[in-house]
């Protein structure tokens, strides 16, 4: 798609396109409608980079009616005659670019916007989208509910991997991180939560508006808004880190509180191993509706469908370093999220008197050769198996084999340096292998090939 567009532009440009003649570079193009991830070719777009999403959402749980306005600040990476945003199911009533009404088409989940005049390369621009409708029941490639997940008493979001477009217009690829502001208006008595910090709350005419500000740039799959019968409480983590928890009034709140109370100690434990907690706040949303059947590591504010157990909270917290801060560019590298968060669970478990990572490894290794654990490839599982046990378990086992191969000290150094990477540069498995090889001085090609990319149960690794 992108190649085709590029090729036709070359023809145009060589035909003395006016922009080129004026010396402002190549003629503007139609930005790509895909983001280049082979797992989700329609997700994401080309030609621009988003800096900030300001999402104004008015939601009524009883009718699932959403009336919304998005203000998106972006920068053109090429001259653009048109550009695309991902938005599914909902209807768009107006689009403006830099305050002027823009042309648009909306089909197949692509909102293609044509500003009155082309955008120059490197220009900053602001897109306003008025949209809304009745939210649906979107399902991910595995059949699980995701995106905007609604219930009679509220809704919460679980965007991973490509569900953000079920509730806002977005450049839905993990590598285009942006700041977010959420202004969510709900009936009095319902509480709204977003990523980051609560900065304002006011009531008028039977409705309450909550404003949440997420300044740490985040991937779209980690953006979240939740509305429900929540009770907000505030706690403190290391260095005064604000921890804001939202617990559904309809769950066993004492049980929820008991597990959430461990978050400060978990943060301190991981800070010792992975370096400073990477964001300005943390906390959990615990919803009473467990239908989605999974938790999600939304940046600064994981969501739990039902009261979580301790290892799940340890898992979602670890993702703040592994996944949220250090983010894979492509979904095939999902083990860099799930294998690492699972390994971190093992570390936390050991520190509280549970089995050691080696014991966890041994137990998983006992899984019979015919099991799916050995047929799904953690390093390239395919979109339908992104969240298969192999990605989590065999991913974490890969790290344990790495540890026994390079030794405890080198392994600890690798984890710390990996977690300390620049949050703005998306990563791949090759980056991780290069780091592990550099720290250990060993050739690790065979190890990663066997454990991540080769079907079948690997031969037992040499004992440590």
**C-alpha distance from residue 143 to each of 138, 291, 292, 383, 384 (Å):** 9, 12, 10, 12, 9
Q: Which is nearer to ligand ARG, 160 or 248 (CB)?
A: 160
Cα(53)–Cα(71) distance, integer angstroms: 6
Q: Is 186 in the site for Zn ion (CB under 5 A)?
A: no
Using the minimum distance from each CB to ligand ARG, give the nearer residue, 274 or 331.
331
Residue 364 touching Zn ion (CB under 5 A): no
Q: Give 79 or 323: the residue with its C-beta nearer to ligand ARG.
A: 323
Closest approach, Cβ 348 to ligand ARG, in A, equals: 15
387 interface partner picked from ligand ARG, Zn ion, none, CB below 5 to 8 A per type: ligand ARG
Closer CB to ligand ARG, 248 or 338, in the complex: 338
Cβ proximity to ligand ARG: between 113 and 396 the closer is 396
Q: Which does 144 bind (CB under 5 to 8 A by kind): Zn ion, ligand ARG, none?
A: ligand ARG
Smallest gap from residue 147 Cβ to ligand ARG (A): 9
In 194-303, which residue ranges form alpha helices assigned H by DSSP?
Answer: 253-260, 263-274
Least Cβ distance, residue 315 to ligand ARG (angstroms): 6
Query: d(Cα 178, Cα 346) in Å, to the nearest integer?
Result: 31
In the bound state with ligand ARG, the residue whose beta carbon lies nearer, of 31 and 302, is 302
The minimum distance between CB 376 and ligand ARG, in angstroms, equals 14
| Joined tokens for residue 146 | 């995701």
State in angstroms the smallest separation of the CB of 182 from ligand ARG: 21
Distance CA 190, CA 154 (A): 8
140 exposed, middle or buried (CB, 10 Å; 0-12, 13-18, 19+)? Answer: buried
CA angle centred on 415, ends 294 and 263, rounded to 5°: 45
Name the closest residue to ligand ARG (Cβ).
140
Q: Which of 352, 281, 268 is nearest to 311 (CA)?
A: 352
| Min separation Cβ 94 and Zn ion, Å | 38
Of 186, 146, 216, give the one whose Cα is nearest residue 60.
186
Q: With respect to Zn ion, which residue has the nearer C-beta, 164 or 192?
A: 164
The smaller minimum CB distance to ligand ARG, of residues 142 and 363, is found at: 142
Query: Is 86 in contact with 110 (CB distance < 8 Å)?
Result: yes
Cβ 88 vs Cβ 187: under 8 Å: no
Min separation Cβ 158 and Zn ion, Å: 12
Nearer to ligand ARG, 88 or 315 (CB): 315
Q: Which does 140 bind (CB under 5 to 8 A by kind): Zn ion, ligand ARG, none?
A: ligand ARG
Minimal distance, residue 282 CB to ligand ARG, in Å: 15
Site for Zn ion contains 313 (CB under 5 A): no
Which of residues 326, 341, 377, 447 is near Zn ion by CB under 5 A?
341
345 sits near Zn ion (criterion: CB under 5 A): no
Distances from the Cα of 123 to the Cα of 9, 35, 82, angstroms: 20, 20, 14
Which DSSP letter does residue 374 get? G
DSSP string, 379-402: TS--GGGTTSHIIIIIHHHHHHHH
Q: Do 300 and 216 touch, CB atoms closer than 8 A?
A: yes
Q: How far is the CB of 311 from Zn ion (least distance, A)?
A: 11
Least distance from C-beta 294 to ligand ARG, angstroms?
4
If contact means CB under 5 to 8 A according to the sort of partner, which of ligand ARG, Zn ion, none does residue 185 touch?
Answer: none
Three-state secondary structure call for residue 176: coil
Q: Do residues 57 and 182 make contact, with C-beta atoms less than 8 angstroms apart?
A: yes
Cβ at position 327, least distance to ligand ARG in Å: 12
324 binds Zn ion (CB under 5 A): no
φ, ψ for residue 331, nearest 5 deg: -70, -20
CB closer to ligand ARG out of 37 and 128:
37
DSSP string spanning 25-47? -SPPEEPPSS-S-TTSTTSS-SS
- In the complex, the residues that contact ligand ARG under the rule CB under 6 A are 140, 142, 144, 146, 160, 294-297, 315-316, 338, 387
Nearer to Zn ion, 118 or 339 (CB): 339
| Residue 385 site contact among ligand ARG, Zn ion, none (CB < 5 to 8 Å, cut-off depends on kind) | none
Supply angle C-alpha 345, 259, 145, rounded to 5: 70
Residue with token string 């939202």: 246
Choose the one of ligand ARG, Zn ion, none that binds residue 296, judging by a C-beta under 5 to 8 angstroms depending on kind.
ligand ARG
The answer to whether 338 contacts Zn ion (rule: CB under 5 A) is: yes
Closest chain position to Zn ion (CB): 341
| Interaction site with Zn ion (CB under 5 A) | 338, 341
């Amino acid at each position: 798609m992108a190649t085709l567009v590029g090729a036709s532009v070359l023809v145009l440009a060589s035909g003395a396109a006016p922009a080129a003649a004026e010396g402002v570079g190549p003629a503007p193009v139609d930005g790509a409608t895909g983001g280049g991830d082979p797992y989700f070719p329609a997700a994401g777009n080309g030609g621009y980079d988003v800096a900030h999403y300001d999402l104004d959402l008015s939601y009524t749980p009883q009718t699932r009616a959403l009336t919304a306005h998005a203000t998106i600040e972006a920068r053109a990476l090429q001259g653009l005659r048109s550009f695309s945003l991902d938005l599914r199911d909902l209807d768009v009533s107006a689009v403006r670019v830099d305050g002027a009404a823009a042309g648009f088409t909306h089909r197949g989940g692509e909102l293609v916007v044509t500003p009155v005049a082309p955008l120059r390369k490197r220009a900053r621009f602001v897109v306003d989208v008025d949209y809304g409708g009745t939210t649906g029941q979107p399902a991910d490639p595995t059949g699980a509910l995701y995106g905007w997940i609604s219930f009679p008493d509220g809704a919460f979001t679980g965007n991973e991997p490509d569900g953000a477009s079920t509730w806002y217009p977005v450049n839905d690829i993990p590598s285009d991180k942006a700041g977010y502001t959420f202004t969510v208006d709900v009936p009095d008595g319902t509480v709204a939560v977003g990523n980051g910090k609560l900065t304002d709350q006011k009531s008028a005419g039977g409705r309450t508006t909550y404003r949440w500000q997420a300044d740490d740039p985040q991937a779209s799959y980690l953006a979240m808004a939740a509305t429900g019968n929540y009770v907000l409480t505030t706690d403190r983590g290391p260095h005064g880190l604000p921890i804001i928890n939202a617990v559904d009034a309809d769950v066993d709140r004492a049980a929820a509180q008991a597990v959430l109370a461990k978050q400060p100690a978990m943060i301190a434990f991981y800070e010792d191993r992975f370096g400073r907690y990477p964001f300005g706040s943390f906390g959990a949303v615990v919803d009473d509706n467990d239908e989605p059947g999974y938790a999600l590591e939304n940046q600064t504010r994981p969501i739990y469908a039902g009261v979580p157990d301790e290892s799940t909270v340890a898992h979602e917290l670890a993702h703040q370093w592994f996944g949220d801060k250090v983010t894979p560019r492509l979904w095939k590298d999902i083990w860099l999220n799930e294998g690492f968060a699972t390994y971190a669970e093992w570390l936390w478990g050991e520190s509280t008197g549970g089995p050691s990572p080696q014991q966890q490894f041994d137990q998983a290794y006992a899984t019979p050769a015919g099991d799916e654990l050995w047929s799904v490839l953690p390093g390239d599982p395919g979109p339908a198996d992104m969240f298969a046990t192999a990605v989590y378990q065999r991913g974490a086992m890969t790290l344990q084999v790495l540890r026994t191969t390079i030794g405890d000290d080198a392994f600890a150094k690798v984890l710390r340096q990996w977690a300390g990477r620049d949050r703005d540069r998306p990563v791949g498995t090759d980056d991780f292998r290069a780091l592990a090889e550099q720290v250990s001085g060993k050739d690790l090609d065979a190890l990663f090939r066997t454990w991540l990319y080769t079907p079948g149960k690997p031969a037992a690794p040499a004992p440590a």
